Structure 1
Amino acid sequence: MLVSTAAVAQVPPADEVVGERFDCLSLSEQPPPETARAWLHRSLWANHCYAFKARAVRIGSDGVRSLAISHDVVEGVEREVARFLDGPPVVFERRGRIGRLNWAEGESPVPASPEGIAEHLEGLYRLQLSGEERLANRNTVRLDIEPLDGLRYGHRFWLDKLTGLPLKQILLDEQGRVVETFQITQLHQPRLHRGAIDLDRRRPPPDYLWHPTWLPEGFISKPVEIRSPRHDDDIGHRVYSDGLATISVFVEPMAGTDQLIPGLHRLGVSHAAVRHRELGGQTRQVVAMGELPPRVLIRVADSVEWQAPVAGTSP
């Protein structure tokens, strides 16, 4: 995600994202990465472009759970399914296109996330390669990603040398303690998609009546679809990211008995800071959640203000 001119030469440069699609076969034409930045960049594209099935384990605050994972591309659209094999029968499914980094502003370009993320992370994290290991019967390189401040978590990735797919990931809190470990134990015949993946449509910036007045450096508003059948029009939802970490902020009127108790709540490896605030002439519930230090989420929730956006500015 931190990328230099030399690193880009070894992985798909921006001009290989032709029009509104990315040709996955271009990955096979690139030489092996040589730097930490180039390895991370290759991994971002590999996550989109390889079809595979895998078995994995996740170790977190709720114990150890095993999963079956599949990822494929059908008619330019990605589909990923994760199914827990023990405990409650939970299935997560994601279907979509390669995301954009920014909201569309007039005719200005809106890069695909792997390209934009690679440049955006510079100055936020330090990347370095830390040797090679064998995992899931495959050779990997270890990539360490250290935050340059105490406002976000660190990451360790073990990337498959052949494909760039992450075979193991570790999340570290601000004290360097392991928060979560995710590891693929079996990777079945990963296959590079022989075709293109569509980029997400360009999304114009919406009009919001509220926004957080403080975010850690590098967190920007994400152009993602945030409407859900579970959320009515009274529930506002915004997503911010620095390229690795994500903060979701919800604002809704206080009504009924479904409100959360103000304070800090733990949700697996994530935390949620809950506040009841006077905003827009009524009491509203503000929730800031993500895999970040709790004090960061509390400060974000406390900073939310209610006001119409200034004309000509981004949300």
Structure 2
Amino acid sequence: MLASPRQTPAVLAAALIAVALCTVPAALADDGAAHAWLERMHRAVEELNYEGVFVHVHGGRAESHYVVHRYMDGRVSERIVSLDGAGREIVRHEDEVTCILPDQRTVLVEGRRELSPLVSALPASADALGVHYELLLQGQTRIAERPTEILIIQPLDGYRYGYKLWLDQDTAMPLKTQLRDETGEVVEQILFTSISLPEYIPASAMAPVTPTEGFTWLRRGSAEGHDGQRVEWRAARLPAGFRLTSAAVSMMADSSYPVQHLVYSDGLAAVSVFIEDPQAEGDWTLGLARVGGANAFSLRHDGRVVTAIGEVPARTVEAIARSLEAGDPHEAPDGGH
């Protein structure tokens, strides 16, 4: 799904990345052991079969979800159902994600696995974190009646947030994650209240339970996007470590005009940039704004509204938005901050 900066935080949060830590007491293990736990976690969250209930807290709201995750013959599928509100449902098969929104009578299909709130709450592999984060282990505790190791991912500059992860000691499955901002405040949290890890989950468990007859289906465009249009904007300067990971032209769920969409990531944090069509009309809030657990910065550029949004410090989204210029998005930026 392509989420507009004008949409609700719940929908917008699905398009973004999330969850982790900040200020850390003394670590209890070396960096190599922490990296090994992070790599185990990545294998666990994809290659285990599991079923459970987790609570997603963000933007001052808490929402309960049921999840069932299946790994069979090297292929991943997953179904997540909101147990509150309208009962949104997300079904993932490999990298294709289908979001069923009963309250909007809409089905959104995208080729981005991080639209899953569980996947988006996890950091990238240790190799992708480079020199911009420090990984530490910080002791043990219990979550959902299971012993866990506590893993800290500490940012080394002011352009990104950090993580705190509670990993199951037997499997490295993340049972609790927190994203904390530069002041130590928890921006987002996911906590499993119950979980089971069966050896086998049938394919039938992946079938959506929400009827979609009469719903509008929307599919996110490719880089050549809507009616053959291409992305024609780039960030001229990026904070160190950030790079382009996606460029597409797509229709918005709440607009008659296509939007150009860029995603920049350092392997952990991600920033989405939306460039509105000049003909689009809307009540935009320019400058800095808070959208759920994310920071957003909007400005007008050559008759278009440009918005950068992500679960990163305000200075990061502002720096990226202000650096936007016309050009090939795949062209290398001039240099980091």
Do they superpose with TM above 0.5?
Answer: yes
Match of 1:219 in 2: 242
Q: Is the 8 A contact 1:218 1:242 kept in 2?
A: yes
Matches within 5 A, 1:195-234: 208-222=231-245, 227=250, 230=253, 234=258
Match of 2:54 in 1: 56
Q: Which has the higher relative contact order, 1 or 2, with Cα contacts under 8 A spaced 6 or more apart?
A: 2
Matches within 5 A, 1:41-80: 41-73=39-71, 76-80=74-78
Q: Does 1:301 align with 2:321?
A: yes
- In the alignment, residue 250 of structure 1 is paired with which amino acid? F
Matches within 5 A, 1:126-275: 126-191=134-199, 208-222=231-245, 227=250, 230=253, 234-258=258-282, 260-275=284-299
| 1:76 to partner: Cα distance | 4.5
| 1:255 to partner: Cα distance | 2.1
Q: Partner of 1:261: helix, strand, or coil?
A: coil
Distance 2:39 2:196 in 1: 23
Distance 2:251 2:169 in 1: 38
Which moved further from structure 2: 217-226 or 42-51? 217-226
Distance 1:226 1:184 in 2: 36
| 1:74 to partner: Cα distance | 5.5
Q: Is the 8 A contact 1:120 1:218 kept in 2?
A: no
| 1:118 to partner: Cα distance | 2.6
| 1:248 to partner: Cα distance | 0.9
Q: Give the 3 Å change call, closer, same or farther, for CA 188–224 of structure 1 in structure 2.
A: farther
Match of 2:310 in 1: 290
CA RMSD of aligned residues (A): 3.2
Distance 2:74 2:163 in 1: 30
| TM-score, normalised relative to structure 2 | 0.66
Which moved further from structure 2: 64-73 or 83-92? 83-92
| 1:232 to partner: Cα distance | 8.0
Distance 2:200 2:165 in 1: 20
Q: Partner of 1:123: helix, strand, or coil?
A: coil
- In the alignment, residue 279 of structure 2 is paired with which amino acid? A
Q: Partner of 1:222: helix, strand, or coil?
A: strand
Q: Partner of 1:176: helix, strand, or coil?
A: coil
Give deviations 1:60-103, integer Å, cap 9, x for gaps.
33332211112223564422232221234222333324999xxx
Q: Is the 8 A contact 2:250 2:260 kept in 1?
A: no
Match of 2:130 in 1: 122
Distance 1:255 1:227 in 2: 15
Q: Partner of 2:49: helix, strand, or coil?
A: strand
Match of 1:96 in 2: 94
Distance 2:138 2:71 in 1: 32
Match of 1:277 in 2: 301
Q: Partner of 2:126: helix, strand, or coil?
A: helix
Structure 1: runs of 5+ lacking an equivalent: 1-32, 101-113, 194-203
Q: Give the 3 Å change call, closer, same or farther, for CA 276–191 of structure 1 in structure 2.
A: farther
Q: Give the 3 Å change call, closer, same or farther, for CA 226–309 of structure 1 in structure 2.
A: closer
Give deviations 1:103-131, integer Å, cap 9, x for gaps.
xxxxxxxxxxx9x8432312110110001
Q: Partner of 1:35: helix, strand, or coil?
A: helix
Distance 1:37 1:296 in 2: 26
Distance 2:200 2:43 in 1: 11
Q: Is the 8 A contact 2:273 2:309 kept in 1?
A: yes
- In the alignment, residue 273 of structure 1 is paired with which amino acid? F
Q: Partner of 1:47: helix, strand, or coil?
A: helix
Q: Is the 8 A contact 1:288 1:300 kept in 2?
A: yes
Distance 1:159 1:190 in 2: 18
Q: Give the 3 Å change call, closer, same or farther, for CA 242–64 of structure 1 in structure 2.
A: same
Structure 2: runs of 5+ lacking an equivalent: 1-30, 97-110, 113-121, 202-221, 225-229
Q: Partner of 1:295: helix, strand, or coil?
A: helix
